[in-house]
């Protein structure tokens, strides 16, 4: 392992045994990490609760300064963190660097929001009485993070928790624990008490999830992942009535109207569909293109997709890395093959790539119908499924015909249409004429079966705070 980042993860490595971390591009074992038993995690949770009482007793400025120091260290270690991210999740190094910046942005934002957990004084209902509302930390929290954005999902959950005065225990994905361990090391170096932010890799995610959801000390569970697992966690968390924030699966429509700037729409589709080899919950899952511009859009998109460089993310010119594992590859194959058998047409791609065992060729399919599995399930791969539509009402009908409601995209130069479509789309996030919508300053989250709660922005801070109403009487002279 290269020495430039080995020190960041050394505390989490196992001398022998442990859980293997593999490079999805090569199948090479990168490292073995220490895993934690339920009994060990229970002790860590209780230690976090003890340490939290001192952490919340510090001033908001103190917590803000510690978070700011963490941000500075993340920026200073940008290259090391990006390499760790690429090695364990496969995304191109250029995308990994962008993810480091995105991850750092949440720490910077919430270092500033730490000072702004304002309460309020409510005009009283009676003389001699005062109503005060304060915001207080939820308590000790737990999070389960995914493999596709292993840096950003850690900071988007932990930074607001720490800013609010909470402690956080996190189980990262079994595929990508190294990024989490590196961030943990930098947090400690920044002066954040070790017990306040703990990373607990485990080879038994179901057991840890159940422990988090049923543990009497944990007051909030935050999860990013599949809808099926999110539903299970919500059911388990109900046993102790925990606060929950769930960012679950998506089925994002990417709508291109006939009055759109087609070149801009193609640029946006390249980002929304092919970033991280299509492995993103907010990725464009269905490209809805108006019939009058369908062929022109497909032609231009095919030119761009056909030129994508597929290869190991550590290669400087790589644009499409591997899928995370063979199971993911098989799912993409199954959905693509079923669509082709059902009448869809292959414009380009449509099969495995010779770059390695877990690479799939960037693909475009036309003639996809809304009733096909590829339009109903998350593809999570570099496959663009194009569905034609007739008019505005048809586009909205198709777009909303899903149980998911995370992200959506719309390209049009008609201001009235943009407003109507934005209002009609049943999604937590709508991006108009832009293919990349993630930012620390806006609330991230979905509706319907895509989740509960919001991350990022001032609303993300509120997710880790509880309102306390205090009535003060006897104030008359």
Closest by Cα among 380, 403, 377 to 231: 403
User: In which element (H, E) is residue 410 found?
Assistant: strand 407-411
Q: What is the pLDDT of residue 17?
A: 84
Q: Report the DSSP beta bridge partners of residue 455.
A: 444
Angle at 53 between CA 50 and CA 55, to 5 degrees: 110
Q: What is the pLDDT of residue 4?
A: 67
Alpha carbons within 13 A on the beta-carbon side of 402: 33
Pairing label, strands 140-144, 383-389 = unpaired
- Asked if residues 247 and 223 have their Cβ atoms less than 8 Å apart, the reply is yes
pLDDT < 70 stretches in the chain: 1-4
Q: What is the pLDDT of residue 391?
A: 98
Q: What is the pLDDT of residue 5?
A: 78
255 vs 430: CA distance, rounded Å: 11
Q: What is the pLDDT of residue 15?
A: 81
DSSP for residue 216 = S
Alpha carbons within 13 A on the beta-carbon side of 429: 30
Q: What is the pLDDT of residue 3?
A: 53
Which residues are annotated as catalytic? 247, 281
Q: Is 276 helix (H, G, I), strand (E, B) or coil?
A: helix
pLDDT tens readout for residues 343-357 = 999 999 999 999 999
Pairing label, strands 167-171, 120-122 = unpaired
> Long-range CB contacts (< 8 A, 24+ apart) of 272-276?
272/409, 272/431, 272/435, 272/436, 273/382, 273/384, 274/305, 274/308, 274/319, 274/320, 274/362, 274/382, 274/384, 275/95, 275/436, 276/91, 276/95, 276/148, 276/149, 276/321
pTM value > 0.85: yes
88 vs 329: CA distance, rounded Å: 16
- Asked if residues 358 and 24 have their Cβ atoms less than 8 Å apart, the reply is yes
Q: Is 110 helix (H, G, I), strand (E, B) or coil?
A: helix
Alpha carbons within 13 A on the beta-carbon side of 361: 16
CA 179 to chain centre: 14
Closest by Cα among 252, 256, 319 to 94: 319
User: In which element (H, E) is residue 222 found?
Assistant: strand 218-224
Query: What's the N-to-C CA distance of the chain in angstroms?
Result: 72
> Which domains are seen in the chain, by residue range?
3-248+449-469 (3.40.605.10), 252-439 (3.40.309.10)
User: In which element (H, E) is residue 383 found?
Assistant: strand 383-389
376 vs 401: CA distance, rounded Å: 9
């Amino acid at each position: 392992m290269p020495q430039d980042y080995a020190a960041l993860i050394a505390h989490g490595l196992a001398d022998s045994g442990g859980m293997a971390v593999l490079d999805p591009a090569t199948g090479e074992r990168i490292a073995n990490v220490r895993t934690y038993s339920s009994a060990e995690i229970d002790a860590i949770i209780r230690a976090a609760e003890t340490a939290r009482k001192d952490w919340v007793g510090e001033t908001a400025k103190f917590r803000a300064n510690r978070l700011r120091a963490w941000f500075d260290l993340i920026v200073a270690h940008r290259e090391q963190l990006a390499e760790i991210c690429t090695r364990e999740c496969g995304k191109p190094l250029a995308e990994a660097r962008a993810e480091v910046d995105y991850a750092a942005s949440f720490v910077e934002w919430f270092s500033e929001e730490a000072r702004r957990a304002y309460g309020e004084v409510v005009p009283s209902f009676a003389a001699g009485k005062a109503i005060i509302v304060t915001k207080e930390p939820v308590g000790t929290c737990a999070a389960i993070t995914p493999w596709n954005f292993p840096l950003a999902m850690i900071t988007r959950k932990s930074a607001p928790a720490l800013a609010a005065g909470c402690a956080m225990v996190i189980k990262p994905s079994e595929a990508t624990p190294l990024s989490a361990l590196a961030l943990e090391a930098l947090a400690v170096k920044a002066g954040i008490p070790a017990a306040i932010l703990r990373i607990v890799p485990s080879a038994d995610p179901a057991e840890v999830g159940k422990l988090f959801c049923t543990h009497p000390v944990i007051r909030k569970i935050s999860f990013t992942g599949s809808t099926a697992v999110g539903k299970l966690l919500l059911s388990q968390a109900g046993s102790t009535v925990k606060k929950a924030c769930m960012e679950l699966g998506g089925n994002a429509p990417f709508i291109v109207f006939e009055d759109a700037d087609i070149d801009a729409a193609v640029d946006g589709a390249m980002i929304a569909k092919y970033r991280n080899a299509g492995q993103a919950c907010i990725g464009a899952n269905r490209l809805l293109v108006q019939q009058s511009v369908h062929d022109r859009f497909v032609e231009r998109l095919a030119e761009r997709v056909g030129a994508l460089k597929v290869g190991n993310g550590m290669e400087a010119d790589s644009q499409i890395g591997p899928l995370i594992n063979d199971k993911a590859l098989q799912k993409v194959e199954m959905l693509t093959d079923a669509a082709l058998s059902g009448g869809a047409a292959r414009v380009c791609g449509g099969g495995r790539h010779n770059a390695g065992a877990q690479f799939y060729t960037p693909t475009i399919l036309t003639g996809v119908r809304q009733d096909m599995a590829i339009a109903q399930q998350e593809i999570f791969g570099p496959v663009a499924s194009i569905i034609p539509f007739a008019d505005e009402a048809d586009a909205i009908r198709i777009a909303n015909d899903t149980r998911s409601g995370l992200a959506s995209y719309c390209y049009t130069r008609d201001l009235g249409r943009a407003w109507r479509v934005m209002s009609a789309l049943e999604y937590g996030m709508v991006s108009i004429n832009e293919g990349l919508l993630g930012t620390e300053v806006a609330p991230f989250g979905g509706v319907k079966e895509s989740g509960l709660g919001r991350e990022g922005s001032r609303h993300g801070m509120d997710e880790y705070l509880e309102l306390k109403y205090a009535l003060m009487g006897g104030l008359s002279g």
